[in-house]
């Protein structure tokens, strides 16, 4: 079964184009190093919940939009191999500087997931 890295993060609407540029570059880097799929999805139908929700999870501000992103790999071992290459790729050097990120990285959360059902 495949392995997935998932990300949830808030992007200021004024930085939307910069975020898309960053995501296009990141997608190329991940795919060049062996990821099977790379997806960036912008919130379209997400409302604050009574207990929790995507907006609440990142403490969404009025001028921001939630992104849900995921990367698919063959396996956990393959993900670890790909990530090692990605993190040393010089194309991402500027992107890793928190001052140049088009979003608040402190409110991003992510994790790795074992796929248990796939259709």
Bridge partners, residue 10, by sequence: 66
Q: What is the mean pLDDT of the chain?
A: 94
Measured in degrees and rounded to the nearest 5, phi and psi for residue 53 equal -170, 175
Indicate the angle between helix axes 16-32 and 76-87, nearest 10 degrees. Answer: 120
Question: Domain boundaries in the chain?
Answer: 3-114
pTM of the complete model beyond 0.75: yes
pLDDT of residue 100: 80
Other Cβ atoms within 10 Å of 51 Cβ, number = 5
**pLDDT, tens digit, 9 for 90 and up, residues 78-118:** 999 999 999 999 998 877 777 788 998 899 999 999 999 99
pLDDT, tens digit, 9 for 90 and up, residues 63-81? 999 999 999 999 999 999 9
Query: What share of the chain has pLDDT > 70, as a percent?
Result: 100
What is the CATH number that goes with domain 3-114? 3.30.70.100
């Amino acid at each position: 079964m495949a392995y997935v890295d998932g990300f949830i993060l808030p992007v200021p609407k004024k930085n939307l184009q910069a975020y898309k540029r960053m995501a296009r570059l990141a997608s190329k880097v991940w795919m060049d190093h062996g990821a099977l799929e790379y997806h960036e999805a912008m919130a379209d139908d997400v409302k604050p919940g009574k207990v929790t929700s995507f907006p609440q999870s990142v403490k969404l501000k009025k001028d921001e939009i939630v992104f849900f992103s995921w990367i698919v790999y063959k396996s956990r071992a393959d993900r670890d191999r790909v990530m090692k290459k990605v993190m040393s790729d010089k194309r991402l050097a500027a992107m890793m500087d928190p001052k140049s990120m088009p979003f608040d990285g402190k409110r991003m959360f992510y994790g790795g997931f074992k796929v248990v059902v796939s259709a």
